[in-house]
Amino acid sequence: MPGLKGPSDYSQEPPRHPSLKINAKQPFNAEPPRSALIASYVTPVDFFYKRNHGPIPVVDDIERYSVLIRGLIDNPRELFMRDIKMLPKYNVTATLQCAGNRRTAMSEVKTVKGVGWDVSAIGNGVWGGAKLADVLELVGISKLTSTTKSGGKHVEFVSIDKCKEENGGPYKASIPLSRATNPDADVVIAYEMNGEPLNRDHGYPLRVVVPGVIGARSVKWLDCINIIAEESQGFFMQKDYKMFPPSVNWDNINWSTSRPQMDFPVQSAICSLEDVTAIKPGKVKVSGYAASGGGRGIDRVDVSVDGGKTWVEASRYQKPGAQYISDDMNSDKWAWVLFDVTVDAPQSTEIVVKAVDSAANIQPENVQEIWNLRGILNTSWHRVQVRVGHSNM
């Protein structure tokens, strides 16, 4: 592609915040301290998790950078940045979450394959750009279209990013055309994050943001868009990021029996306390995040200070000072909620959180029930231990 060069090694990696917990260096995968997530409703760029499958691409000539839209359409077209920026700009507040968030806890039950994420492979950003539905109209695909005249039913996003899983080819993923052409789905071709141009870690100069869907479908460093008849045949669509029961292992797995994961299930985690925290007896504030996929809001967040025997309801909020009502038009439907509640902890105990979304989906109690060989979608109750000491602490 004109104006681009993809580094073949890791010599041109961008600088990162020193507090990030590095889970893998090459490719670079890191998450912030969990406490950073509850410091603000919108996650600062420096503290947004970094998920990569290869070296970070370099764009050295933004004027020549373009995205080609092609495939099962009558009018293929090459779009430059100026073409994208001429379309109406939208700011969509959306939470992105790696499907492997909380994988480390799942691996404690039985070893799984993948990057060892704690609870911070998630973040809430404001994504500025053009809606994909508007972009596709430029090549003759009307809004709310599910099939093109030539039989296109899916939209494949191909990255500049090169990765070993694709045998040195580009990262790619797809979503149904019906979602792509629905303005209410808020799929964005983004060039801004939190009011600033995307940085290299997060997809500069253009990335896709598919709200309510696992992060693997929000392709960074966009190269081309293909209108295709079937789902993308890329590795990360067909041989990864699929959900299997605990009985499936690497000897008996049949990847074709499961669909590529899209929406993420209801999720919550405590961020004000570490896995084990020493405290003084008395009041303790329990804070964290809760989110659900598909645009579903959070109806309730329950916290227990006795390992799940009894529960209290936590307060939920998005924008500070504004009442949060699940699925209300004034709430950000693609974004997480933050929660907090102050509880009594007179003795050492296990503190637990679980969330309920607006479709009455609830997190499973035990990770064993949802264990899977790739360690994705660990949405079990999140548990932390507090060790209560006395004045000599």
Residue 321: the pLDDT is 80
b/e burial code for range 161-183 (CB count within 10 A of at least 16 → b)? bbbeebeeebbbbbbebebbbbe
pTM here?
0.96
Nearest alpha-carbon partner for 199 in 214, 221, 217: 221
Tokens of 201: 């870690």
The pLDDT, as a whole number, for residue 347 is 95
CB 376 within 8 A of CB 100: yes
Which pLDDT does position 392 carry in this prediction? 46
Question: With the C-alpha atoms ordered 17, 22, 26, 29, is the resulting torsion angle positive or negative?
Answer: negative
* pLDDT at site 274: 98
User: What is the pLDDT, as a whole number, of residue 320?
Assistant: 80
Question: Which tokens is 209 given?
Answer: 């943001």
Predicted pLDDT of residue 393: 41
Q: State residue 10's pLDDT score.
A: 81
Question: Consecutive sets of 10 residues in the chain, 393 residues long: mean pLDDT of each?
Answer: 57 93 96 98 98 94 96 97 98 98 97 96 98 98 98 98 95 98 98 98 98 98 98 98 97 97 98 97 97 98 97 95 89 97 96 98 98 98 93 45
